[in-house]
A and B are shown apart, each in its own frame.
Chain A
């Protein structure tokens, strides 16, 4: 992880650590904090705790997003303080809706300059974000909204498994991991398990990102905690609830980073320091295979 972040994540980069609630690579975010990256443009549909932590750690110059809350638990307070001018800023914002972010990455993955959608009419989002534009359809004359392509410098994908070439298999909520990876200049895949190429070849429909789109593969069990990996471990909902009080108090947040990010060498150290993560281990709900024969 240390080598992958050192090689592929630079100051000033546009960074995507995706995963919609599922497979969010906290391990990579923490390593980026430890290596004290600065002036990053952080992009995710939902910043989640990981970007709240990176904002608090001073890594971020700008946030590109569509929903910045902590569902059921409260707020992302480092994000809110920065935007409300109460400390930790300035933080530039470029705000969309979920569909807008999906469109940006879809355009990026297809190497198109923009993505059209029937959206945003009657909303104040275009007034807040002049990068949301409009075109008249050249075929029908209908006025459509457009969002610009997003081509990140580096995308970090957490996955259940991949082979050494980076052929990456993901199941459960897929989010926009595929689009983000294809749109990105560099891709780091972080996995719970490294598997033999034969495992990948036995179920090619499950491969979401091919090795030809991947620059580095890191093996990091528990790499998504407190997020989850379907089939490996549950979401640590208790921690997400705890974040409300940790993030609300800048001193508590700083202590959290000292203890769990700066104070450990790596994810293995983090897991040991957390203790008790085995309680989140997933139950077994294995599916039968399908017949790929012909």
Chain B
């Protein structure tokens, strides 16, 4: 008789699912928050040779405390290399050496386009968001991207107000037509399900439901008629080891694992 899996929060499952997407030895652009936890969880489990690169210039960072920004001084101490930002964007990213980039944002649409610029019109926004940062070029150049975002109709509209980071189809054009080197968002890890891009249409479709979550609950958080794969994949709950690492080692103060 197997024991029931330990209870977990949506954030913990999101971190675990994102971590499982990473393969050992890959070169990953890391952000802050859940992507950071996912990368460090992967390093501590199945991907010990993952190379973490921060767009601030820290390569192979092994921070001794949870960084609160991508420019945290703990990313420098003990890292493999610290280079200027010109080298990060030209010699690493545009050079094609970043295999995975993590993205998130205020709005993600049907084709995986992400908006971190404005809600409302650009010149007179209702809400002025921070802007691209490195997200535009990461969306274009990373060999593939993984998006992490909680579901809501506001966060998943049919069409974003502004395309900061292009997904699979932007203003009717595919990535291939536009000459983008990277494959784009291959997985959208939400708090209830995993979405993946349909290879034909480029639209995000339901690929896997989290344990105990009905498909209707997912549809309620998506602003377009969500299609689904004929056979949905299973998502295993976080293992005891994954939870121990997340709760006791990586984010004991629950800075990013809230909820």
Contacts and interface: CB of A to CB of B under 8 A. Distances in A.
B122 A67 contact: no
Contacts of B84: 174-179
Given A98-B89, A128-B122, A174 B82 contact: yes
Given A83-B128, A85-B124, A174-B84, A99 B71 contact: no
B140 interface: yes
Nearest to A175: B85
B109 interface: no
Given A21-B70, A98-B132, A228-B73, A173 B178 contact: no
B70 A98 contact: no
A28 to B, nearest CB: 19
A72 interface: yes
A143 interface: yes
Contacts of B122: 124, 127-128
B32 A173 contact: no
A172 B72 CA distance: 10
B58 interface: yes
Contacts of A171: 82
Interface stretch (B5-13, B157-165, B205-213, B221-229): B157-165
Contact of B163 (A67, A75, A106, A122): A122
B69 A98 contact: no
Interface stretch (A213-221, A230-238, A242-250): A230-238
A122 B164 CA distance: 9
Interface stretch (A112-120, A152-160, A187-195, A261-269): A112-120
Nearest to B161: A124
Contacts of A257: none
Interface string B90-113: 100110000000000000000001
B85 to A, nearest CB: 5
Size class of the A contact interface (CB-based, 8 Å): 35 or more
Interface string A92-130: 000111110010001000000000011111111101100
A72 B126 CA distance: 22
A84 interface: yes
Chain B residues touching A, majority SS? loop
A121 B72 contact: no
A68 interface: yes
A172 B82 contact: yes
Contacts of B82: 171-174
Nearest to B170: A122
Contacts of A51: none
A98 B134 contact: yes
A21 B68 CA distance: 11
B43 interface: no
Contacts of A68: 128, 130-131
B256 to A, nearest CB: 9
B55 interface: yes
Contacts of B45: none
Contact of A123 (B70, B130, B164, B181): B164
A222 interface: no
Given A21-B56, A99-B89, A119 B140 contact: yes
Contact of A122 (B125, B127, B134, B178): B178
B166 interface: yes
Nearest to A235: B73
Given A99-B89, A102-B86, A230-B73, A79 B117 contact: no
A79 B128 contact: yes
B131 A172 contact: no
A173 B180 contact: no
Nearest to B136: A97
Nearest to A227: B71
Nearest to B255: A72
A103 to B, nearest CB: 8
B71 A22 contact: yes
Interface in A20-40: 20-22
A177 B85 CA distance: 9
A122 B166 contact: yes
Contacts of A174: 57, 82-85
Contact of A121 (B126, B135, B179): B179
Contact of A99 (B57, B70, B137): B137
A176 B140 CA distance: 22
A278 interface: no
A230 B76 contact: yes
9 contacts: A20-B56, A21-B69, A67-B130, A72-B68, A84-B126, A99-B93, A122-B180, A128-B162, A172-B82
Given A120-B140, A124-B163, A173-B82, 6 more contacts: A97-B132, A102-B85, A123-B170, A124-B117, A240-B68, A285-B77
For the complex of A and B, list the 7 residue pairs with the smallest distance between their C-beta atoms, beginning with the closest.
Answer: A21-B71, A122-B166, A69-B130, A67-B133, A122-B170, A97-B132, A121-B178
